[in-house]
Structure 1
């Protein structure tokens, strides 16, 4: 019985807690939306990705750069779409981050944000 209760508590913390955390973040969703609207958006071709771990690694490291607002990485398309604040970070820094991870950042194309 205690094992079942502990298991239920563990599962509820995994599935329910993120929902509550998301609710707390809604108060600043307007700020995030405004940052995304005001940021520049680029697509960067990436060579060397082979799995979802590569995708997660690239996304995590790009998001750690001050000024990066949003990152979407596609294994299938072999690219990333990055929304960033050009006053805080440059495309050269984005490419450098990807290259330092062992991938090859290619051509950058600016998109409409």
Structure 2
């Protein structure tokens, strides 16, 4: 009798997946990208201080670095769009209540019903 009760619990534990783990993985990836971008900006500032020493030399960029820069630009664009939407919908910057009433209409909250 106890084997029948214990076995489904074990199977239930095997089938479960972490609820919030994928969110943590996304945040780790986001922070990694942000840290890389900050590091690259720091390097650019340091290089700009020494540019006058190497002004007459040719600059070479590897294809891997170009690919990395393209990925960073793509990631930055993907992060910029939600920020623009958020800034557009920011309630503290609104002057009147027209957007409030418009949002009420979209959500189906109509006065008198």
Structure showing the higher strand proportion among its residues = 1
TM-score for both structures, normalised by structure 2? 0.28
- Larger CA Rg, structure 1 vs 2: 2
Structure showing the higher helix proportion among its residues = 2
